[in-house]
Structure 1
Amino acid sequence: MIKKKKLALILGIVFGIVLLDQVFLHFWLSQPDTNFKRSLDIDDVRQLIQAGKDARVTTILFDPVILEAWHSNSDVAVPGVCIFLCHVIGPLTFAVTAAQLRDKPFFLSRLAQLGFTITLFDTSDGKRSHVFLFRHGSPLHLTVLDVNSAAGYLRQYALTGPPHNMAQVKQYITKDAWDQIKVDRAYERLTTKDVKIDGVDLTVPSDISTFVNDYRDAHFIPCNESRATYYNLKHMKSETPDEIRFKHKAWKLLGKAKTILDQLKVPFWLSSGTLLGFYRQCDIIPWAMDVDIGIFIEDYTMRIIPEFEKRGLRLTHKFGRLSDSLELSFKEENIKLDIFFFYTEGATVWNGGTQAKTGKKFKYIFPTFSLCWTEFLDLKARIPCQTEEYIRANYGPSWFTPVRQWDWKSSPPNVIENGVWPEAQWSDVIVVKE
């Protein structure tokens, strides 16, 4: 009886391994690029980790597919069997910080001593961005993370370089992985922990679920400094003391709103005039007199109002309701923060507006968009990835030309009338506290 139970257990383990292998194999075969080597030599991984220890460089396993698979099946382990690391799709990715790579050059020389062929990639301004290591199996990939201490995030620069080097590594990378490393990316600062995967001692993010979600939404779009310089040379005059004070207060208000919404885990993005200022001049528009952000209605929580008021932001307006045209306005030091809530409707999204005196409703229609990260005045914030399309919808083709007179009910090219709130509902949908 005992022998039968042992046999059943062994068969179950073997079946599980085979099933897991088939899942990975099916995923690999479904990729559009299949010229790369699939096999990874586990000893290459061990040698990379050892080189890091020798040079006192922390190499973090940074591969979301492998981390997610292991995290979901961490109890699956068979001595002598490589289950996770040996089923890599494209190169296995690790991360190192730019500071460690710069300050400890022995790391790369040690890798060369261990038999790795090293291909380095730098940005146009000389910052190291990616390293590929070729040895026995498929290559290992080191993504170099630049620590932004002011805004508190990790920056990964896009892979760029000589065409022959790009062609060399592309053959080992799936289309999805190639798309990921061909754009700038940003991640939250992370802590790490030591684990054992397939018998190899590795360092991984402490919260793997959070890391995987962060990785999926990490696309970063930097502010275009050249465009901002051109705009300032063409249009900007000396700012008045009042305008300078406004910009400083608006920046503080945006930072406070970010802190609160981040704590509530409510994603938001720069919208309207605040987004225009970022995109056009990498700054706050000095005569805007308010701060504008957007939130998808699905991310609304009733905790927003009490948390904002607890931090000294006074609710001045509440228009609409959760199902239709919700809008909140807060004030701090006479600077207004408008929170526009966006609704999805077919191939468009829209936010509402309400005229307090008449109850008239308005709708501002935008093409659908996804969200990317940027850095705005030392704040890591989201923006629509399709930034210019969003701005053109809101401000028209002449968005680059400054306009000081703006009527929120008629000036935007994407505004349409959307009916009238019945007077019987005004006490609920038109709340003015000023």
Structure 2
Amino acid sequence: MQRINKNVVLAILTATSSLFLLFQLYYFKYYISAKTGPAFSKFKGSFTSQESTQWRVVKNFLSLVSSHNVPVYLVDSLVLGLLDKDLEQLRSSPDSAPSKCQYFCNHADVTTFALLDKIWEHKGSIFRSAEKMGFQWQKYEGRDPRLEGMDNLSGTEIPLHYIFKMASHMIHLVVFYERSGNYLWHGPLRLKRNMDRKFSPFRRLQFGRHAGAYNRVELLLVRADGLKVQIPKDPSQFLKEMPHSKFLECRYKEARSFFQLYPDDISLEGIEFRKKAKSLLHMAASTLETLGIPFWLSSGTCLGWYRQCNIIPYSKDVDIGIFIQDYQPDIIAAFQKAGLALKHKFGKVEDSLELSFLGDDVKLDIFFFYEDDDHMWNGGTQAKSGKKYKYLFPKFTLCWTEFVELKVQVPCETLNYVEANYGKNWDVPLKIWDWKSSPSNVQPNGVWPVDEWDNVIQLY
């Protein structure tokens, strides 16, 4: 048997190994890289440490939306917080090359962007391109609340959220819509029955557990980690809004049922009162916004929103609440400057403060709320006797809603709030009302000393 030359065998093995290595390189370049996308290439000479999956996926996503003229902006709280700290530097040196990945390499599972619905077209081409780049994606729809009302409860399905997934990272794209109260709204993320519940860690998403409302934002283009990205011009303000953005829709279905039992007041007097009350509420909101004082719908005005999605025509006033820690001494002067006359001032900042203004024959009552260990309360004063009253409420937080074309706050725990004030029969109209005895949560709170009356009981 002929002997095999060892050198020939070694040469064959070397050549075979080289060919296999070349095949692997070719396969990776033309197949694997096509699926993962061009953003998985290194950022030339900038980062000393290894690039993170997050940075590569974000770069891919920004390349995708840029090529389809889809103007997204960053709303991710973690990244925005980091950018906010370096905002002046990013503005002054926009083209400086980063020495390391500072913002998009924090090993997060999700990076969140936003999109204003009216400035893009729902073209399927972007999703086909996303799939070619290696993205998996899902769309989440919900009813359009802007089309709902007393006469239309069905709504129309609109896109609310998109999630793009590549490798181990996800891009959450939140769709914002303009509402008539001059603000931006996003809907909740709800899974349909046939949707893949394992597609994304939904519980860890910053947006989507509930609907949210935000002020309009101006955008700023910055370069971060070598990526051009739009962010809110004032990131700190946007970040302040996030924890308090929860939004509650008016309950049109329940309101329609209410009016079937108790027909609405469509008299000229009722219509005129609602018109004046709406104008007064808008004026109050504008005045308090100028002062930077948050407020919410209280008492009968809150009941009207929750029960019938409108102002109660026989209430004869507008009621709002303010936490006492937000009180400012110049609040009276601000309302007077807006054209409202001070009707009375009861109590003092330390105890049971209450203000009442009059504008166009409609009264605006401002109740200041105090917090104790297990409840909140506002006070009342009877002018002729000096008797004090206290109205107890379970502790509550504040949510946004839209009421008479105004973005305004209400207690998130609205039912508890309304029941405390009006009892279990809050859904039955009661036109005869005594503020000293009718509320379910009223209790005596002593009497003002006579020598304090000039300060705590002021009538105008």
TM interval, short-chain normalised:
0.7 to 0.9
Paired with 1:323 and 1:90, the residues of 2 have a C-alpha distance of 48
Q: Return closer, same or farther for 1:272/1:357 CA change in 2, 3 Å cut-off.
A: same
- Consecutive unaligned residues of structure 2, counting only runs of 5 or more, are 1-47, 91-95, 144-155
SS of 1:85's equivalent in the other structure is coil
Which residue among 97, 102, 105 is the counterpart of 1:83?
Answer: 102
- Between 380-389 and 133-142, report the one with greater CA deviation: 133-142
Q: Is the Cα–Cα contact under 8 Å of residues 44 and 137 in structure 1 kept in the other structure?
A: no
1:7 corresponds in structure 2 to none
- Between 398-407 and 107-116, report the one with greater CA deviation: 107-116
Amino acid at match of 2:318: V
Which residue among 271, 274, 292 is the counterpart of 2:298?
Answer: 271
Structure number with larger C-alpha Rg: 2
Which residue among 26, 35, 57 is the counterpart of 1:44?
Answer: 57
Amino acid at match of 1:197: A
1:118 corresponds in structure 2 to 137
1:27 corresponds in structure 2 to none
Q: Return closer, same or farther for 1:291/1:340 CA change in 2, 3 Å cut-off.
A: same
SS of 1:320's equivalent in the other structure is strand
Cα deviation 1:323-375 (Å, max 9, x = unaligned): 00000000111100000000001110000000010110000000000000000
Q: Percent identity?
A: 38
1:157 corresponds in structure 2 to 187
SS of 2:246's equivalent in the other structure is coil
SS of 1:181's equivalent in the other structure is coil
Which residue among 301, 312, 337 is the counterpart of 2:364?
Answer: 337
Cα deviation 1:135-190 (Å, max 9, x = unaligned): 23411110011111x2111111000122453512443x5x4536x41211111111
Which residue among 17, 41, 56 is the counterpart of 2:69?
Answer: 56
Displacement after TM superposition at 1:111 (Å): 2.6
Q: Is the Cα–Cα contact under 8 Å of residues 269 and 384 in structure 1 kept in the other structure?
A: yes
- Consecutive unaligned residues of structure 1, counting only runs of 5 or more, are 1-16, 19-38
SS of 1:142's equivalent in the other structure is strand
Q: Return closer, same or farther for 1:88/1:286 CA change in 2, 3 Å cut-off.
A: farther
Displacement after TM superposition at 1:198 (Å): 1.5
Paired with 1:103 and 1:217, the residues of 2 have a C-alpha distance of 30
Q: Is the Cα–Cα contact under 8 Å of residues 40 and 137 in structure 1 kept in the other structure?
A: yes
Which residue among 312, 328, 332 is the counterpart of 2:339?
Answer: 312
Displacement after TM superposition at 1:108 (Å): 3.3
Amino acid at match of 2:75: F
SS of 1:214's equivalent in the other structure is helix
2:163 corresponds in structure 1 to 132
Amino acid at match of 1:131: Y
- Alignment of 1:92 with 2:123, yes or no, is no
Paired with 1:79 and 1:376, the residues of 2 have a C-alpha distance of 47
Paired with 1:136 and 1:83, the residues of 2 have a C-alpha distance of 21
Which residue among 389, 403, 426 is the counterpart of 1:376?
Answer: 403
- Alignment of 1:293 with 2:337, yes or no, is no
Cα deviation 1:99-119 (Å, max 9, x = unaligned): 234455544343334332221
Q: Is the Cα–Cα contact under 8 Å of residues 101 and 107 in structure 1 kept in the other structure?
A: no
Listed as ranges, the matches of 1:17-36 within 5 Å are: none
Paired with 2:160 and 2:431, the residues of 1 have a C-alpha distance of 42
SS of 1:228's equivalent in the other structure is helix
Q: Return closer, same or farther for 1:259/1:51 CA change in 2, 3 Å cut-off.
A: same
SS of 1:84's equivalent in the other structure is coil
Paired with 1:354 and 1:199, the residues of 2 have a C-alpha distance of 63
Paired with 1:163 and 1:101, the residues of 2 have a C-alpha distance of 28
Cα deviation 1:252-273 (Å, max 9, x = unaligned): 0000100111111100000000
Paired with 2:249 and 2:381, the residues of 1 have a C-alpha distance of 34
Displacement after TM superposition at 1:134 (Å): 1.3
Cα deviation 1:48-79 (Å, max 9, x = unaligned): 22222222221100111221123125559983
SS of 1:254's equivalent in the other structure is helix
Q: Is the Cα–Cα contact under 8 Å of residues 75 and 231 in structure 2 kept in the other structure?
A: yes
SS of 2:195's equivalent in the other structure is helix
Cα deviation 1:173-230 (Å, max 9, x = unaligned): 5x4536x412111111110101112221110000011000111110000001100100
SS of 2:420's equivalent in the other structure is helix
Which residue among 62, 83, 99 is the counterpart of 1:70?
Answer: 83
Amino acid at match of 1:40: T
1:183 corresponds in structure 2 to 210
Amino acid at match of 2:242: Y
Q: Return closer, same or farther for 1:203/1:169 CA change in 2, 3 Å cut-off.
A: same
TM-score normalised to structure 2 length: 0.82
Amino acid at match of 1:120: K
2:440 corresponds in structure 1 to 413
- Alignment of 1:144 with 2:172, yes or no, is no
Q: Return closer, same or farther for 1:240/1:183 CA change in 2, 3 Å cut-off.
A: same
Q: Is the Cα–Cα contact under 8 Å of residues 151 and 380 in structure 1 kept in the other structure?
A: yes
TM-score normalised to structure 1 length: 0.86
Paired with 1:347 and 1:88, the residues of 2 have a C-alpha distance of 41
1:359 corresponds in structure 2 to 386
Q: Return closer, same or farther for 1:291/1:166 CA change in 2, 3 Å cut-off.
A: farther
